[in-house]
Amino acid sequence: METREKYFTGKKIELAPVENLVDLVWGDERPARPENLVNHLEDKYTGEATLKKYERVAKKLDKSVDKLLVSTLDDIAWLLNLRGTDINYNPVFFSYVILHLGETNRVTLYIKDSKVEHLADYFKSINVEVVPYDRIETDLKALEKGVKIGVDTKKTNSELYRLAKESAEAVVKDSIIETIKAAKNETEQKGMRACNVRDCAAIMKYFAFLEKELKKENHGLTEYTGARKMDNFRTFGDYHKGPSFDTISSIGANGAVIHYKPEENDCLDLNRDEIYLLDSGGQYLDGTTDITRCGHFGGKPVTDFQKEAYTRVLLGVLDLERIVWPSDSTIGGADMDILARMHLWEVGLDYKHGTGHGVGSFLNVHEGP
């Protein structure tokens, strides 16, 4: 927002805050926010108690602020060891948090009370005060002058930042919680391995099903019905909590369409002659998955070009899988991207999307930084 303000100021254009125009258009017809219950995720899945997380965040901030405004839903869910169902595929809930830092760290949670009243004892144990969701603006306005409140301007809407800046001293802070959350603890690592084993078993059952069914002349399978079948294979066991995103089920040329989503009445029939791509994932109490697999089911022979492209992608995967780097370095995933593409570049090939991304632990399937 500040970058845009500087740009427009240079053009002698002033940005003025207005009431949310979308809300004005909706009026009384705006659908109510979900009232789904929020649930506590036990420490045996998270590997760390909430009070310990407060301490880690406070240590990272190193007394540079008195309070921290948190508006990103997955950061709030991680911090408080809570999960919800307000947004499809993402186990989060509509809320805001202000973390008050001091000798005893405490939290104000802005959320509809009916969603969390069953958690009263838990909240008491982790120093959480529950207040109405819409009170966030009033409380920011009421901050005393001189109070330093940390705000991640990349993740917080401009109105909340403006209110914090006008009433108190807003200190721009990159997402402290996001950075901590990205480094998985031992329990989270163990859970993510376990849920991937479970998930891969479901995928292999689905591919075995396709190998058998596609031999039938009138199998009736399409990209869409295949995706639903995959979802069904995944829904077993007490850990499973639904898909982590819309299943991408694509045959032939559709496999090259990034984030392709088959529609029931607008999709291709599955066949044995073309390469089939499945990109799907699941949410589990102990982790989140996102797995892409390609297969060919024995109709027309694959071409030499298809074999070469597939093999060169495989070589890149193996190079990534085998790399070892110093634990005290600042190297990140983006620095290793070249390893995945190197064998493709040798023959003038490439793919027009990222190599990978962070994955939450029973949280958002795409997780920064």
Residues 6+ apart with CB under 8 A from 125: none
User: What is the structure's pLDDT at 3?
Assistant: 66
pLDDT tens by residue, 58-111: 999 999 999 999 999 999 999 999 999 999 999 999 999 999 999 899 999 999
- 61 closest CA partner among 188, 149, 162: 149
User: What is the structure's pLDDT at 334?
Assistant: 82
pLDDT tens by residue, 299-313: 999 999 999 999 999
Using CA atoms, how far residue 83 sits from 38, 39, 74, 221, in Å, is 6, 5, 9, 35
CA gap 229, 179 in Å, rounded: 36
- Taking the CB of residue 78, how many other CB atoms lie within 10 A of it? 28
pLDDT tens by residue, 164-201: 999 999 999 988 999 999 999 999 999 999 999 999 99
Tokens of 66: 């008195």
Residues 6+ apart with CB under 8 A from 298: 211, 272
Q: Is the pLDDT of residue 352 over 70?
A: yes
User: What is the structure's pLDDT at 2?
Assistant: 65
Average of pLDDT values for 4-17? 83
pLDDT tens by residue, 115-165: 999 999 999 999 999 999 999 999 999 999 999 999 999 999 988 999 999
User: Given this chain, do its domains 36-182 and 186-302 carry the same CATH topology?
Assistant: no
Q: Return the DSSP state at 171.
A: E
Domain boundaries defined on the chain: 36-182, 186-302
Q: Is the pLDDT of residue 345 over 70?
A: yes
Residue 291: its H or E element: strand 291-295
User: What is the structure's pLDDT at 20?
Assistant: 82
pLDDT tens by residue, 213-267: 999 999 999 999 999 999 999 987 889 999 999 999 999 999 999 889 999 999 9
The class level of CATH for 186-302 reads alpha beta
The class level of CATH for 36-182 reads alpha beta
Q: Mean of the per-residue pLDDT values for the chain?
A: 94
User: What is the structure's pLDDT at 217?
Assistant: 92
Percentage with pLDDT > 90 across the chain = 83
